[in-house]
A and B are shown apart, each in its own frame.
Chain A
Amino acid sequence: MLDVRDLTKSYDGVPAVADLTFTVGEREFVCIVGSSGCGKTTMLRCLSGLVAPTSGGVTLHGALVDGPPQDMAYVFQDYSRSLLPWMTVAGNVSFPLPYKGLSKAEAAAATADALDAVGLGDRGDAYPWQLSGGMQQRVAIARALAYQPRILLMDEPFASVDAQTRADLEDLLLDIWRRYRITILFVTHDIDEAVYLSQRVLVLHRPAHVHEVVEIDLPAERDQLATKRLPEFGELRSRVLSSLRAPDPAGVNR
């Protein structure tokens, strides 16, 4: 579905993303981990069509990504900056919909559905700044859902909320992923989160390229306590961690 081939993005000759190649299949949940500053955000900006790559390319359903694609939604790390404070929660969620060709009634229905899906059905008239951080990020997720994408790109979306809220949001996201049958590409620096959420973890080294792919063969049904207690969970966790820390001659030589 999403096909990334030899993607390279350099700034002033210094590569932030170098020969990045991977594919994401339909309805897959893929996590990307990498240390901070390894070019994850630059990679996402290329994948989402916000910036043009220096070389290589991205295709979505076989079509070259040369601008933000229609059936992709991007959830930013910083909800306080991606939500518009002068619009209500419902206003934020429905903001992109008229330009997608939805009528007023369709947009209102999609907004109500999406807010229900994230458990904020009764907060549509509130303003984002009246809500907690976790709720604000749920609004950002609702905005992505209302847009009815087939693939969701998420840039460390739960990095700035507390641990309990984070666990709740993770389970909410898994639930949404199953119910909406969408593809999710989730970037995080948290190894536990990556292993817990995904079916496959791509470990990136700097400048962003795939160092190793770890298949997550955990049972499909995940549970914050039971799944994380499994011995396999611990093993996968250590595998990802050692892969992250592994020396990478290819990376050093670039």
Chain B
Amino acid sequence: MIRARTADWALALVLPALLLVAYDGWARTAGNFFFPPLSEIGSTFAAEWLFTRVPTDLLPSLGRMLAGFALAVAVGVAIGMLLGLSRTLSTALDPVLQFLRALPPPALIPVSLLVFGAGDSAKIFLIVLGAVWPVLLNTVDGVRGVDPTALDMARSYRVPAHARLTRLILPAALPRILAGARTALAIAIILMVVSELVGADNGVGYTVQLAQRGFDIPEMWAGTVLLGLLGFACNAVFVAVERRVLHWHLAVTGRATHARRP
């Protein structure tokens, strides 16, 4: 089992390594100004992002992204619970929500700059507006999908409504909520970058754009690589947390999948 996993890891690393080697070989011979060799990108990366720009650009970016993501999850779960529990409310709110959902968040950058100014609030607002939907919609589905037998059980044992909500409905909906949150995290990272392209004076996205405008190509690439690594790391952390929180869900569904094998 463990040997198989090590082999899987090794196998998974082969293609990225090959791609990097191929790129480096090509970039060295081609001498294209826009595609510098790896060593150049690497040394810029080390000089800029380890760790000079961490407090000035990376942390502000991360802070806004996490704040936006956290708010999106909180708002999405709260509204999603209400809509999942009340058909009347979800019918009444549906058109408004559909309209808001259809708006591309970047289209709201001008408005949010006017309302919130050029500070962090406008950027966090944009991230929330984009990232809230997968959480909200999945929460609604998760709440509606709670087993009626479990609800009957709790009611027959006179478990009060608030406890049914926090100890039964919320945990039962959690697999769906976390699936939504994972999508929201990816959206939050995208919108973090987008929000920094207009009206920003720091951040990873801002740095990349500034480097591109100043034809500092290695720096542009170093920032891009950082964004890729950031997305990868965020997802890895999220998956680790999800595994821990949903161990029961993985065990139950995992067993079901296992049982179907011959």
Contact = CB atoms under 8 A, between A and B. Distances in A.
Contact of A78 (B149, B155, B157): B149
Contacts, number: 65
A95 B159 contact: yes
B150 A82 contact: yes
B171 A50 contact: no
A127 interface: yes
A138 B248 CA distance: 20
A85 B156 CA distance: 19
A131 to B, nearest CB: 12
Interface string A90-106: 00000110011000000
A127 B149 contact: no
Nearest to B162: A99
Given A84-B171, A85-B248, A50 B152 contact: yes
Contact of B158 (A70, A78, A82, A127): A70
B213 interface: no
A73 interface: yes
A81 B150 contact: yes
Nearest to B160: A99
Secondary structure dominating the interface of B: helix
A70 B159 CA distance: 11
A48 interface: yes
B229 to A, nearest CB: 33
B150 A84 contact: yes
Contacts of A76: 149, 152-153
A139 B153 CA distance: 13
B244 to A, nearest CB: 12
Contacts of A127: 248, 251
B150 A74 contact: no
A50 B160 CA distance: 14
B149 A81 contact: yes
B251 A68 contact: no
A45 B168 CA distance: 20
Interface of A: 45, 48-50, 68, 70, 72-74, 76, 78, 81-82, 84-86, 95-96, 99-100, 127, 129-130, 143, 147
Shortest beta-carbon contacts, A-B, top 6? A96-B157, A81-B149, A74-B156, A82-B153, A86-B248, A68-B156
Given A99-B158, A127-B251, 17 more contacts: A50-B155, A68-B155, A68-B156, A68-B158, A70-B158, A73-B156, A73-B157, A76-B149, A76-B152, A82-B150, A85-B251, A86-B249, A99-B163, A100-B158, A129-B251, A130-B251, A143-B157
